[in-house]
Chains A and B, each alone.
Chain A
Amino acid sequence: MSEQVTVKEAVEVKVEKKEALFSKKNKRLLADPMDDSNPITVQVLGVCSALAITVQVEQAIVMSLSVIAVLAIGNVLVSLLRHAIPARIRIIVQLVIVATLVILVDQILQAFAYDVSKKLSVFVGLIITNCIIMGRLEAFAMANKPWQALLDGLGNGAAYGMILVVVAVFREFFGSGKLFGVQLVPDAFYEAGYMNNNMMILPPMALIVVGLIIWFQRGRNTKLIEDH
């Protein structure tokens, strides 16, 4: 009887090894960061860059794409090397991988997206210090297979980007009356006394918008409310 159970378990493990690329579990790797374990609004990581580069939507999108690229590739590389990385220097190895990817992204932006690269200035370099990236490498990629690591990277990167873009839409629209640099608030409004909210352009407003998003999210998703 007990032997049978063991066999059954073994079979299950084997089945799991051959699971479909987009099994339910794998899909959750992509979907969870969007809501239940969002890096910005739930784990409150990477807030620094979320404050700094959300004044315009274009910057926010380029920054998000850069983070997605660094996080996904970094996750896959660390996952591939996870059996080889010596435990004592694993953080340094992760850091070197992230730093290399960030420099590559920066160089590529300078070559092909010069204007955006100038606007993002130091913040591209600061992707290295984004806690989301080191967090995912250490917590997930070190213990999972490359495909799962890729999904996790894409999921977390996209979740970070989603919040960034939402905040940027609010800030650019109310702060400068524009989206993607195109003026949306008609001139007639300004003539009638409407004014751009200059506060929106300043970093504190990003914090407040992120706070409002967290509030909204918790109101909708009661799982996130801790009981004290």
Chain B
Amino acid sequence: MKFDKDGNGFTFGFATVMVVVVATVLSVASISLQPFQQKNKTAEKMQNILKTIGVEVSRDEATKIFGDYVKERIILDYSANASTPKTGAIDPLDKEDAFNINMKKQYKSKKWEKRAYPVYICEKDGKQYRVIPMVGKGLWGPIWGFVALEADNNTIFGASFDHKTETPGLGAEINTADFQDQFPGKKLFDATGKFISIKVMKGGAPEGFEHGVDAITGGTITSNGVTDMLKKTLKVYQPYLEK
């Protein structure tokens, strides 16, 4: 029988072999590059936490000085009961350590009651700050961020947000300074102690309004995602913050 390159048998065979080869190559690449990628991500997380308390450093720097500022790492459950604080160096295998909580995995579990809620207690220039990490839903995928609260557990000292796949130039703008710099000085509770959270407001927040910031033009769904994320996450922390 003459070999037929365009016959069904060969076509199927070719496709099968190709898929197996490609899958192997990609798996090997993914596994062998993972340690490097993970290192970058860990360093970036530290950098973002430090940024919210006003320490702007490079990623490499962040891993070195993280321990100087972040003193205690606590995990809360849904009823805001705190775990024993972790201090000192981070053991990457310690599941009880707040820093090792994979926020993206948290995002995947739909049940808010089952999630873990980390808090980082930081110190800078003798002042104490609590940094709260959060994840939420943007337009295309997860968004996440960190909010640092001043010692009164009410006033925002700094915030940093990031995203996975928001639209560049629109929703993706939440990771720019222009957006994040609006947060410092905003308050979570009103004068009577009622929890209000911070709203990302389409059309702009009124001058002097303590519970809102300007939304991003063309990024309405991402902006609403930030509002939602702040409100839902911080609500869980409310009993802890009121203590």
Contacts and interface: CB of A to CB of B under 8 A. Distances in A.
**What secondary structure prevails in chain B residues at the interface with A?**
helix
B40 A84 contact: no
Interface stretch (A10-18, A103-111, A143-151, A206-214): A103-111
Contact of B6 (A88, A110, A121): A88
Contacts of B18: 93, 96
B33 A100 contact: no
A84 B168 contact: no
A interface bracket (residues with beta carbon within 8 Å of B): 20 to 34
B25 to A, nearest CB: 6
B14 A111 contact: no
Interface string B126-169: 00000000000000000000000000000000000000010011
Contact of B25 (A100, A112, A114): A100
A87 interface: yes
B26 interface: yes
A89 B11 contact: yes
B interface bracket (residues with beta carbon within 8 Å of A): 20 to 34
A88 B172 contact: no
A87 B11 CA distance: 9
Nearest to A92: B15
A52 interface: yes
B5 A86 contact: yes
Given A87-B5, A88-B11, 15 more contacts: A85-B14, A93-B18, A100-B26, A103-B26, A104-B26, A107-B33, A107-B37, A111-B37, A111-B40, A112-B36, A114-B37, A114-B44, A121-B165, A123-B168, A203-B169
